[in-house]
């Protein structure tokens, strides 16, 4: 198995559809199973970012006062026979590397690919090529697996944490410059955190409790989940929110701001003149104003507490 270094994680539309086949979750069509515990330790390089990526399973990240990155993972494999269970235990693992771009902890598998030209990592159980799924693997793997990951990291480390199927992401006690968190089919909970935030949970809820309000522009997004953010103190910020089928609730008094208007200058000779488009976003000001907090959801509610 070629186990290369990772710098970025990408999922194409084809990749998203393909990864659902390998997740067993708490149930599997196979009767035999076995588990493997994985533990590693690394020393964190100050001011570097920590990237964590999982495909099938949960991720928990807890900040502490030291400079050690502690990794603990549990891999469970299901298959029809003992040899295929062992194949899954041999092929699926955790890769942890460090380079001048930071620390990278990610699912290591035959279906996780590294592209050295771009520094990207992508995963597909079905498609051989990242942007073209016309060529597919001819044989499916004879097992299913589920990997839960736990990390203890220096609490001041910026993080980029991504998961896809079969588990939630939980972040606790991390006070850093940047928090970039995404989960496709699981929820996200972040407690006692601080830093510039970009968080995205496609199909589940996001719950955040800050120990210090973000000082820089931050983004909170979900398609089918609620966005609930509890600030450490009354925020001074501009809030731009958008929800199609949900509502926005704020614990704090606010004042409405004018909607943004996009102007398209008319071409010469166009008798209709300029085009004006009013944004669907709703801007409000909390307190004295400040950084912009953007909330977007299609079917969920937005709660500012």
* pLDDT tens-digit map of 240-275: 999 889 899 999 998 888 876 555 555 555 555 554
Q: Token match 């498609």: residue? A: 127
Strand partners, 121: 9, 114
**30 and 99 share a domain?**
yes
Residue that wins the pLDDT comparison between 17 and 132: 132
Q: What is the mean pLDDT of residues 215-243?
A: 95
Q: Tell me, what's the pLDDT at 12?
A: 39
As a whole number, the mean pLDDT across the chain is: 85
Q: Tell me, what's the pLDDT at 303?
A: 96
Q: Tell me, what's the pLDDT at 273?
A: 52
Q: Tell me, what's the pLDDT at 16?
A: 42
178 within domain boundaries: no
User: CA nearest 125: which of 19, 23, 25, 28?
Assistant: 19
Low-confidence winner among 28-32, 43-47, 202-206, 215-219 (lowest mean pLDDT): 28-32
**Model pTM score:** 0.85
238 within domain boundaries: yes
pLDDT band, very low/low/confident/very high, at 139 (cuts 50, 70, 90): confident
Q: Tell me, what's the pLDDT at 256?
A: 87
Q: Tell me, what's the pLDDT at 20?
A: 46
Q: Tell me, what's the pLDDT at 137?
A: 83
Q: Tell me, what's the pLDDT at 15?
A: 41
Residue that wins the pLDDT comparison between 138 and 177: 177
Contact 126, 21 (CB under 8 A): yes
pLDDT band, very low/low/confident/very high, at 99 (cuts 50, 70, 90): confident
Last residue of one domain, picked from the residues 99, 134, 166: 166
200 within domain boundaries: yes
173 within domain boundaries: no
> Taking 70 as the threshold, does the pLDDT of residue 123 lie above it?
yes
Above pLDDT 70, what percent of the chain? 82
Q: How far apart are CA 164 and CA 19, in angstroms?
A: 8
Low-confidence winner among 130-144, 178-192, 224-238, 256-270 (lowest mean pLDDT): 256-270
**125 and 209 share a domain?**
no
**121 and 242 share a domain?**
no
Residue that wins the pLDDT comparison between 158 and 23: 158
Q: Tell me, what's the pLDDT at 8?
A: 42
Q: How many CB atoms lie within 10 A of CB 128?
A: 14
Q: What is the mean pLDDT of residues 194-209?
A: 96
122 within domain boundaries: yes
Q: Tell me, what's the pLDDT at 265?
A: 57
Low-confidence winner among 49-53, 110-114, 140-144, 224-228 (lowest mean pLDDT): 110-114
Q: Tell me, what's the pLDDT at 18?
A: 42
**Could you give the number of structural domains in the chain?**
2
> Taking 90 as the threshold, does the pLDDT of residue 3 lie above it?
no
179 within domain boundaries: no
**160 and 294 share a domain?**
no
**278 and 143 share a domain?**
no
Last residue of one domain, picked from the residues 133, 166, 199: 166
**108 and 230 share a domain?**
no
Residue that wins the pLDDT comparison between 102 and 117: 102
> Taking 90 as the threshold, does the pLDDT of residue 117 lie above it?
no
Residue that wins the pLDDT comparison between 4 and 11: 11
SS (H, E, C) the chain: CCCCCCCEEECCHHHHHHHHHHECCCCCCCCEEEEEEEEEEEECCCCCCEEEECCECCEEEEEECCCEEEEEEEEEEEECCHHHHHHHHHHCEEEEEEECCEEEEEEECCCEEEECCCCEEEECCCECCCCCCCCECCCCCCEEEEEEEEEEEECCCCEEEEECECCCEEEECCEEEEEEEEECCCCEEEEEEEEEEEEEECCCCEEEEECCCCCCCEEEEECCCCEEEECCCCCCEEEEEEECCCCEEECCCEEECCCCEEEECCCCCCCCCCEEEECCCEEEEECCCCCEEEEEECCCCEEEC
pLDDT band, very low/low/confident/very high, at 25 (cuts 50, 70, 90): low
Contact 96, 71 (CB under 8 A): yes
**30 and 155 share a domain?**
yes
**20 and 144 share a domain?**
yes
Query: Range of 243's domain?
Result: 187-305
């Amino acid at each position: 198995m070629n186990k290369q270094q990772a710098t970025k994680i990408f999922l194409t539309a084809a990749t998203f559809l393909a990864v659902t086949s390998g997740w067993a979750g708490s149930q599997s069509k196979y009767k035999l199973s076995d588990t493997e515990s994985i533990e590693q330790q690394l020393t964190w390089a100050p001011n570097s970012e920590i990237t964590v990526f999982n495909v099938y399973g949960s991720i928990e990240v807890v900040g502490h006062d030291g400079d050690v990155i502690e990794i603990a993972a549990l891999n469970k494999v299901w298959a029809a026979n003992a040899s295929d269970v062992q194949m899954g235990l041999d092929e699926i693992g955790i890769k942890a590397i460090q380079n001048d771009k930071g620390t990278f902890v990610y699912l290591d598998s035959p279906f996780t690919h590294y592209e050295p030209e771009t520094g990207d990592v992508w995963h597909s159980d079905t498609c051989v090529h990242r942007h073209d799924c016309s060529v597919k693997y001819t044989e499916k793997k004879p097992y299913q697996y589920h990997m839960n990951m736990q990390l203890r990291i220096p609490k001041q480390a910026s993080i980029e944490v991504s998961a896809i199927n079969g588990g939630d992401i939980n972040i606790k006690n991390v006070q850093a410059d940047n928090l970039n968190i995404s989960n496709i089919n699981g929820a996200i909970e972040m407690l006692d955190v601080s830093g510039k935030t970009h968080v995205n949970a496609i199909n589940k809820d996001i719950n955040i409790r800050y120990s210090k309000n973000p000082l820089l522009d931050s983004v909170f997004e979900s398609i089918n989940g609620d966005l609930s953010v509890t600030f450490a103190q009354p925020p001074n910020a501009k809030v731009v929110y958008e929800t199609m089928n949900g509502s926005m609730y704020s614990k704090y008094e606010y004042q409405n701001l004018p909607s943004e208007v996009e102007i398209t200058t008319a071409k010469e000779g166009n008798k209709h003149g300029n085009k004006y488009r009013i944004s669907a976003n709703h801007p409000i000001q909390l307190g004295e104003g400040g950084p912009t907090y953007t909330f977007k959801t299609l079917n969920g509610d937005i709660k500012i507490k």
